[in-house]
């Protein structure tokens, strides 16, 4: 069967018309077995990497599944684990036969153990903790065993609860000291009172956790079982429950239809924990953060009580099509007044996910900075807002300000749409190959930018870090291979060189009254135009600057089961010849970094942070706890220069930007905070120095600008 490759990192609803389940399978009431059957078929036919389902596979799946269920070993007992181990080399056979005996056993046992813990943990909080006792807690969950019996499990929980209370207790003690300094009439609390307040807060937090766990249904735990299966092929193949698929769609597009709020389940109802700028709640000001939703009604229909309802089910009632009405019964946080508030749903745009820019003044020069948090796109309509068109608009605005160079910030950008990468690369080159994509069966396709228009011909720097992944790596790699941009950042980027497609599993059913969800599956690998893969190795920066996380394992190589690095033939491309001194500017930048005492301090601080992350044992004695704090504080004082660092850059809004952001004080305030944070950005400052050194042959020439923006 021929398959058309859809060139996006994540795309929806691939149609596989050649294979559908037929009667009687699709009528099978056992939805779980049906899911396994469909997922096995999809993986076998379309996953990039073939893998044999054998005893080794079974063992790895078993370990992954147990870790997903109880990674901190807080619920299961050693006897449970011994019973489960009988299945360690049988899961391959159970998958082949669509047998669920192990899942059923583990699920039922987990629910039993959770209920046991829920019953006994309140007794552990019924008496004050004694923080003067010398004892420690071991948080090396990977290497500790399951509790031998219930008494050992209770003791493990006691220490974990005490550890949480100790942290809160310390915060409250510190707060009281500050209050005493500020207010001579402040009423000092007894130590016993502070301990009780700390324990009460721990109790409230744990109650909320168990409320969330009790909301989970069989399908939620079964999705863990399915994912322990599919991620054995690679870390980015993933099963989405129907609700997870909706969240994924929202995340990749940066928009959704609703009321514009972030919600959390609390005692009594659904609490408003954040109001999204520009949304209906933000505009009408009738509902505030902290208010509780206790009933939800559709227009003039009878309202539904959401007290005690699963958060996901309540959200389904609250969300709905644009321009439709939902009537929310609210309990106000201030006085407890209950009132009905009608809200007209609207399209919510998550502005924090979109591209934004600022002018940077350094000496007598102007530079531009564009921050891109992700490669967003609306797959249903590419011509609506997407990151490539947004970046193009920002470039045009910055050029009107007379910038001398441009910084594109891709730090912490985890990727998104491949088509937007191709279009965005085309903003900086005349035309040519951008990326190579290889599918299973060694089929290769070269993806080109065919638009000769160039929107920025001047000096270009791209900022990356360890969390710049996927689409970010394609853009950085392409512009690096063309000698078009200088990459400044961590030693290498994340190293995700694979392409995923999202397959709607319901398309395999002729008739169905239920939603099977979707499978995100790795179908392809992408390669640089020079033939190398970024898989595992990432994009290596031209100028390397350490950061606080430099010695912490972050990246594809630290994931389970990553696909291997390899190489294919180079594409035919012509390097950019727009700089007089590219290699000299890179050498100068590296020399400056290598000889910088400030950078040495960053590196030393990063090593210390990594060493603290490796610490797994902590004292539950308050005196020892404070001594460790004091020792850390004394040692960290040597890094005060890092904390107090300020660059000499000035950041300005683009002309009329303040008026153009919907006259929103909140959005303006967020932009100002963003720019204030940039003044402490050492990596950005080094990027500006590189721009200042780069000598462009084309900066004074007339730019080629496309008519259509």
- For the chain, what are the domain ranges? 52-232, 255-349, 352-594+648-693
Reported confidence tier of residue 614, pLDDT bands at 50, 70, 90: confident
pLDDT value for 81: 98
Asked if pLDDT for residue 612 goes beyond 70, the answer is yes
Report, as an integer, the average pLDDT of 239-246: 79
User: DSSP string covering 93-149, please?
Assistant: HHHHHT--HHHHHHHHHHHHHHHHHHHHHHHHTSS---TTS--EEE--TTTSPPBSS
User: DSSP string covering 248-276, please?
Assistant: HHHHHHTEEEE-SEEEEEETTEEEEEEE-
Report, as an integer, the average pLDDT of 681-698: 93
Asked if pLDDT for residue 6 goes beyond 80, the answer is no
- Rounded to whole angstroms, how far apart are CA atoms 347 and 164? 40
**Tokens (6 digits) for 58:** 């079974």
Reported confidence tier of residue 241, pLDDT bands at 50, 70, 90: confident
Asked if pLDDT for residue 653 goes beyond 90, the answer is no
- Rounded to whole angstroms, how far apart are CA atoms 118 and 583? 63
Reported confidence tier of residue 512, pLDDT bands at 50, 70, 90: low
**Tokens (6 digits) for 51:** 């893998």
pLDDT value for 225: 97
pLDDT value for 380: 65
Residues 67-120: tens digit of each pLDDT: 999 999 999 999 999 999 999 999 999 999 999 999 999 999 999 999 999 999
pLDDT value for 1: 28
Residues 473-504: tens digit of each pLDDT: 999 999 999 999 999 999 999 999 999 988 98
pLDDT value for 70: 96
* CATH architecture for segment(s) 255-349: Roll (2.30)
Higher pLDDT, 682 or 186: 682
- Rounded to whole angstroms, how far apart are CA atoms 527 and 436? 5
pLDDT value for 242: 81
What pTM does this model have?
0.83
- Name which of 457, 445, 453 is nearest 418 in CA terms: 445
Q: Exposed, middle or buried by CB within 10 Å (0-12, 13-18, 19+), for 663?
A: exposed
Report, as an integer, the average pLDDT of 229-253: 80
- Rounded to whole angstroms, how far apart are CA atoms 49 and 525? 10
The least confident of 343-347, 412-416, 555-559, 562-566 is 343-347
pLDDT value for 596: 96
- Rounded to whole angstroms, how far apart are CA atoms 386 and 394? 13
- Identify the CATH homologous superfamily for domain 352-594+648-693: 2-enoyl-CoA Hydratase; Chain A, domain 1 (3.90.226.10)
Q: Residues 464, 412: contact at Cβ < 8 Å? A: no
Report, as an integer, the average pLDDT of 146-170: 95
């Amino acid at each position: 069967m021929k398959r058309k490759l859809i060139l996006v990192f994540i795309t929806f609803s691939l149609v596989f018309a050649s294979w559908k389940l037929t009667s009687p399978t699709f009528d099978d009431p056992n939805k779980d077995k049906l899911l396994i059957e469909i997922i096995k078929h999809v993986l076998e036919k379309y996953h990039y990497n073939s893998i044999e389902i054998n005893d080794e596979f079974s063992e790895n799946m078993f370990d992954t599944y147990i870790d997903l269920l109880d990674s901190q070993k807080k619920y299961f007992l050693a006897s449970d684990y011994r019973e489960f181990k009988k299945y360690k080399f049988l899961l391959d056979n159970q998958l082949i036969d669509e047998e669920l005996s192990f899942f059923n056993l583990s699920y039922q046992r987990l629910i039993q153990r959770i209920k046991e813990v829920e019953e006994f943990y309140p007794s552990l909080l019924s008496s004050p903790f004694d923080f003067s006792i010398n004892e420690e807690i071991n948080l090396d969950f990977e290497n500790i065993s399951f509790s031998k019996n219930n008494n050992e499990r209770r003791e493990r929980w006691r220490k974990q609860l005490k550890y949480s209370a100790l942290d809160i207790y310390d915060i409250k003690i510190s707060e009281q000291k500050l209050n005493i300094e500020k207010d001579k009439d402040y009423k000092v609390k007894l130590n016993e009172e502070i301990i009780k307040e700390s324990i009460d807060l721990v109790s409230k937090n744990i109650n909320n956790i168990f409320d969330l766990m009790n909301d989970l249904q069989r399908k939620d735990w079964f999705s863990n079982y399915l994912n322990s299966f599919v991620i054995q092929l690679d870390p980015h193949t993933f099963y989405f429950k129907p609700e997870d698929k909706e969240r994924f769609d929202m995340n990749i597009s940066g928009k959704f239809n609703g009321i514009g709020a972030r919600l959390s389940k609390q005692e009594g109802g659904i609490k408003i924990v954040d109001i999204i700028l520009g949304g209906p709640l933000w505009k009408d000001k009738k509902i505030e953060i902290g208010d509780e939703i206790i009933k939800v009604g559709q227009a003039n229909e009878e309202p539904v009580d959401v007290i005690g309802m699963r958060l996901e089910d309540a959200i389904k009632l609250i969300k709905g099509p644009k321009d439709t009405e939902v009537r929310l019964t609210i309990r106000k946080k201030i006085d407890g007044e209950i009132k009905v508030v009608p809200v007209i749903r609207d399209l919510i745009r998550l502005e924090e996910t979109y591209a934004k820019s600022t002018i940077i003044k350094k000496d007598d020069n102007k530079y531009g900075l564009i921050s891109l948090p992700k490669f967003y796109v609306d797959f249903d309509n590419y011509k609506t807002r997407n990151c490539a068109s947004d970046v193009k608009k920002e470039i045009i605005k910055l050029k009107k300000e007379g910038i001398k160079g441009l910084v594109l910030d891709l730090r912490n950008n985890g990727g998104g749409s491949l088509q937007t990468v191709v279009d965005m690369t085309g903003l900086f080159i005349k035309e040519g190959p951008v990326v190579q994509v290889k599918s299973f069966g060694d089929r290769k396709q070269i993806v080109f930018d065919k638009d000769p228009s160039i929107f920025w011909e001047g000096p270009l720097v791209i900022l990356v870090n360890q969390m710049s992944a996927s689409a970010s790596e394609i853009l950085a790699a392409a512009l690096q291979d063309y000698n078009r941009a200088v990459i400044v950042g961590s030693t290498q980027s994340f190293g995700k060189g694979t392409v995923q497609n999202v397959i709607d599993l319901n398309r395999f059913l002729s008739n169905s009254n239920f939603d099977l969800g979707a499978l995100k599956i790795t179908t392809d690998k992408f390669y640089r135009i020079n033939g190398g893969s970024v898989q595992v190795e990432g994009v290596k920066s031209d100028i390397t600057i350490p950061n606080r996380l430099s010695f912490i394992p972050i990246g594809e190589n630290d994931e389970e089961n990553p696909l291997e690095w390899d190489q294919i033939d180079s594409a035919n491309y012509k390097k950019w010849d727009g700089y007089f001194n590219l290699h000299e500017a890179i050498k100068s930048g590296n020399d400056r970094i290598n000889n910088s005492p400030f950078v040495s301090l960053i590196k030393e601080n990063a090593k210390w942070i990594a060493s603290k992350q490796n610490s797994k044992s902590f004292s539950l004695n308050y005196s020892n706890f404070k001594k460790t704090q004091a020792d850390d504080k004394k040692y960290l004082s040597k890094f005060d220069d890092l904390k107090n660092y300020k660059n000499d850059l000035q950041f300005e809004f683009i002309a009329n930007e303040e008026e153009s952001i919907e006259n929103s004080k909140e959005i303006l305030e967020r932009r100002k905070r963003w720019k204030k944070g940039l003044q402490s950005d050492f990596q950005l400052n080094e990027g500006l120095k590189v721009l200042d050194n780069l000598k462009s042959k084309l900066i004074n020439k007339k730019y080629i600008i496309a008519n259509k923006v």
